[in-house]
Structure 1
Amino acid sequence: MNHKNTPHTALALVAMILCGIAVTLSFAPFGMWPLSIVAVAVLNLALEKSTPRRALALGWAYGVGLFGSGVSWVYISIHDYGFTSAPLAGIFTALFCLFLGAVPALAAWVYCRWLRDGMGGRVLGFAAVWLLSEWVRVWLLTGFPWLYLGYAYIDTPLAGWAPVGGVFLLSLMVYLSGACLSQALLNRRYVLIVGAAGLWVLGYSLQSVEWTQTNGRELKIAAVQANITQDKKWLPESYKPTLKLYDQMTQPLLGQHDVVIWPEAAIPNYYHVAKDYLDLMAQMAEQSDTALVTGIPLRTPEGVYNALVVLTGGTGVYAKQRLVPFGEYVPLESWLRGLIRFFNLPMSSFTEGPPQQKPLQIKDHSVAPYICYEVVYPDFLVKQMNGAELLLTVSNDAWFGRSIGPKQHFQMARMRALETGRELIRATGTGTTAVVDAHGKVSARIPAFEAGVLSTTVRGRSGNTPFLVAGSWPTWLLCFGLAALAAFTRKPAANKANNKANNNKSASKSRGL
């Protein structure tokens, strides 16, 4: 190693960590979205002259900054509610962030190794490879679809692109904008800024397009937020008080609303154990002509499911398909189960629900259901919609306490409403319980960490956005095309060899050889 360059390398690594932190600040709850464009521009500049090996380190530093700040709430789940000691929880969280950081590290290496040469590579190739690094996180080891850059731009002019190509198309626009800014300043090609501005102007104009239409049928809904914390939820002594609380909060709503919704695992026991109570609640709801829907664990001969059940006022049972590792199932269970308490959490042996389940039918409305983590998978959500008029997601964000995790989760849920042109009902145990309109705007909500009821109206919608028809595939194909274009238009290898020979010759002359 050249020791003279060590301070510069250390400063560059620190700068990349700060860029990753800046991207976290662009998401909810901070909302400083311009920071992520600046961070992308700085990242593009840092990789301008970097060797692939150095790019690997810079990309990893960026990833560590991003995930170390952006998913720090994992520590709360492991330590506060996973019964793990602080040092061990810290080690698990650090290892998780280091592992995730390897994805942008690989993206930086690929960019500098195969795509960077030429202006097309520095802009188009850069944007493509970084977006493809987001795509890798959709499926790698069951996927961790968090902190996609496009989410930070749901309240900006770029939001108009979401119904066209989803959150990943927004991410692509941000990467292109940052690269254009960087290369315009570096090479004085200010036309790139004009091009980037065009993406924003077009995105703003797309916001005026009504991709879907209301069907005229209105539902008055009540979403119950009991605010039972995770450390008390599964205690045996909390079971009967929980049933009493839901009874007390629900009784005044019957007959006053078309549907009452309880959140994910509202009843902390299996359906068959709580059946007498649920039958009684369903009978009262039916007599009041009110539909009642609840999240509850469900044991059947086929397995144990994290489920959403229409008790009365409609039909349907939905079993969660995308399970959370360690929270709902334990990978390598035969090795890990019982090793420490974190690997033996309550209700951590769920079975995956079957694919392509039908929408719920609630008061003659077709409702697409999603439980917690599922709503952050955009293409999964589209695949499961099956022409539904409304989106319903129930969640238990109590696992993350008062951290930034639940705010990020809600921001991602809002994006699903914008992408699909459907209103979204979100019922949670501790918050955020809300309704989001077809443009991704919050139309009603209640405060988090307070027991309360969200009472409002929603309307079903029909019609398709382009994203509903095609999903993310056009964006992925575009990215692969841009990456291929950058790779095939880079400088010929012969020119590189000549340049290297000339550099070696100059170096030899300077040494007097």
Structure 2
Amino acid sequence: MRRSELAALPAGAAGVLCFAPFDLFWLAPLPWLALFFLLRRAPTPRRAAAAGFLFGLGFFVAGVSWIFVSLSVFGGMPWWLAGPATLIFCATMALYPALAGWTFKRWQPAADWRQMLYFAALIATVDWLRGWIFTGFPWLALGYTQAPPSPLAGFAPLLGVYGLSLLVALLGAALLRWRIGLPLLAACVAAGFGLRQIDWTEPVGEPLRVALIQGNIPQQMKFQPEAFYRTLSLYRELVATHPAQLTLLPETALPAFADRLPPGYLDELKALAARQGGDLIVGTLTGDLDGAYFNSALSLGAAPTQTYSKSHLVPFGEFIPAGFAWFMAQADIPMSSFTAGPARQAPLRVAGHDVAVNICYEDVFGEEIIAALPQAGILANLSNTAWFGRSLAQPQHLQIARMRSAETGRPTLRATNTGMTAIIDAHGNLSAALPPFTTGVLSGEVRAYTGMTPYNHWGNLGALGLIALLLLAARPGRRR
């Protein structure tokens, strides 16, 4: 393997600096410029695939190393198994940029500008593929680098995160020819800034007083019997001392089946929530008579009790893929065999508004979020990222939630166990947030929004259509 191909490894790792918490969004085209340069120089498709693989390996090892924390520190898996498992996962994700590299070289166009279009289309395509194959892992899709305050975030309501992946990759490739790249960059920044001035949706109704509760329950204590009553007492106290029209508690804040909680506990929460005609949404566990159990959000208060059950489950964390029971036997992850809830569930009608609830990882799937629109005026995410410790996972997840608001023109309320609990406005800007790994309540006001962005209408079809147009314009060459 040549030194030039090995350079792809640190180039990929540098790409993580473009994401939260570093937020060097202006740097985003440069790592992908390096990849474009390496693919052009590769003598064969196999060598181009190797460069793409090393780029991806550096990118994912640097960006999602928190998977090791989840498996080893909190999942109880021996380090000698968790380490290779994390590396294998990152290597599997690196196959996507490897596929882009192989395809680019196999049918590389002759003209420079066609190569730029072809490269950008391929990078956006593999980002999209990664978002749904084997249930999907769209974490760190390139477009997330352009969440607000990037001026390119103006394109989010039109093309979504994969459209932004396409745009950033195109800018990176174009910078190889600065006489093309710099004017294109200036034009995109100006257009994005102009698009950010457009209000695709509009507020409706009066401001809603909200309270988002961050319990900061250590993951190793969450399901311990000796901590159970302390947890219930903490949440009851925080709800009692922070009245609001809408109160949100984190994912599995009540770490037991709802029908097995101490008698009268849910009634207490309901009475506290209903003090001002308000409602409360809390993460808990629910089950049915067939023995299935769900990761759910339960509403309590003035409105009738409603339930949302998580439908997009996390492999290994919430369900065991076929053939991997032996692997999960090496870990100690409670409740790792959930049943998926229905694919389409109505928003919860609470505090006089329709709220589209999603749980933890579900908000990385933009097309699933828009299924609740236009009915829902507010998005709400309940998460427990304590599984990932003090890692990049929390700020990365907050950045993803901000992209969902920018795409949909809806505010997002995030109630998390350890961070990042936040209020995000309808443009994707961070209005307020609690410091991570602290116990507290984030109080504020939010307004529901009505109307539809182009992304709400078409989902990822807009980005996919643009990718197809670029592929047609690039006119890839004959098979080499």
- What band does the TM-score fall into relative to the shorter chain? over 0.9
Does residue 320 of structure 2 align to residue 327 of structure 1? no
Rounded to whole Å, the distance in 1 between the matches of 2:373 and 2:453 is 13
Instruction: Give 1:49 deviation, angstroms.
Output: 2.9
Equivalent positions of 1:109-188 (< 5 A) are 109-154=102-147, 155-182=149-176, 184-185=177-178
- Give the match for residue 79 of structure 2: 86
Rounded to whole Å, the distance in 1 between the matches of 2:399 and 2:195 is 20
- Give the match for residue 107 of structure 1: 100
Larger Rg belongs to? 1
Name the SS for the 1:314 alignment partner: coil
Q: Which moved more, 1:116-125 or 1:207-216?
A: 116-125
Aligned-pair identity in percent equals: 38
Q: Which of 3, 8, 18 is the aligned partner of 1:26?
A: 18
Name the SS for the 2:475 alignment partner: helix
Contact 1:330 1:337 in 2 (8 A): no
State the number of aligned residues: 475
Does residue 56 of structure 2 align to residue 63 of structure 1? yes
Contact 2:6 2:51 in 1 (8 A): no
Contact 1:358 1:386 in 2 (8 A): no
Q: Which of 446, 450, 473 is the aligned partner of 1:485?
A: 473
Equivalent positions of 1:39-58 (< 5 A) are 39-50=31-42, 51-58=44-51
Rounded to whole Å, the distance in 1 between the matches of 2:374 and 2:192 is 27
Instruction: Give 1:337 deviation, angstroms.
Output: 7.0
Does residue 344 of structure 2 align to residue 380 of structure 1? no
Q: Which of 450, 453, 458 is the aligned partner of 1:462?
A: 450
Does residue 262 of structure 2 align to residue 270 of structure 1? no
Instruction: Give 1:290 deviation, angstroms.
Output: 2.9
Rounded to whole Å, the distance in 1 between the matches of 2:372 and 2:397 is 19
Contact 1:330 1:336 in 2 (8 A): no
Instruction: Give 1:30 deviation, angstroms.
Output: 0.9
Contact 2:211 2:444 in 1 (8 A): yes
Q: Which moved more, 1:381-390 or 1:423-432?
A: 381-390
Q: Which moved more, 1:461-470 or 1:331-340?
A: 331-340
- Give the match for residue 400 of structure 1: 388
The 1:16–1:374 alpha-carbon spacing in structure 2 relative to 1, beyond 3 Å, is: same
Deviation digits for residues 36-86 of structure 1 (CA, Å, limit 9, x no counterpart):
211111111111131111101100000001001000110000000110111
Rounded to whole Å, the distance in 2 between the matches of 1:286 and 1:156 is 40
Q: Unaligned 5+ residue runs, structure 1?
A: 1-5, 497-513
TM-score, with structure 1 as normaliser: 0.89
- Give the match for residue 308 of structure 2: 318
Name the SS for the 2:356 alignment partner: strand
- Give the match for residue 500 of structure 1: none
CA RMSD of aligned residues (A): 1.7
Instruction: Give 1:386 deviation, angstroms.
Output: 4.6
Rounded to whole Å, the distance in 1 between the matches of 2:275 and 2:155 is 46
Contact 2:158 2:462 in 1 (8 A): no
Name the SS for the 2:104 alignment partner: helix
Instruction: Give 1:119 deviation, angstroms.
Output: 2.7
Does residue 209 of structure 2 align to residue 220 of structure 1? yes
Does residue 338 of structure 2 align to residue 350 of structure 1? yes
- Give the match for residue 437 of structure 1: 425
Does residue 232 of structure 2 align to residue 243 of structure 1? yes
Rounded to whole Å, the distance in 2 between the matches of 1:428 and 1:478 is 36
Instruction: Give 1:192 deviation, angstroms.
Output: 4.4
Name the SS for the 1:80 alignment partner: helix
The 1:65–1:337 alpha-carbon spacing in structure 2 relative to 1, beyond 3 Å, is: closer
TM-score, with structure 2 as normaliser: 0.95
Rounded to whole Å, the distance in 1 between the matches of 2:32 and 2:314 is 30
> One-letter code of the match for 2:300?
L
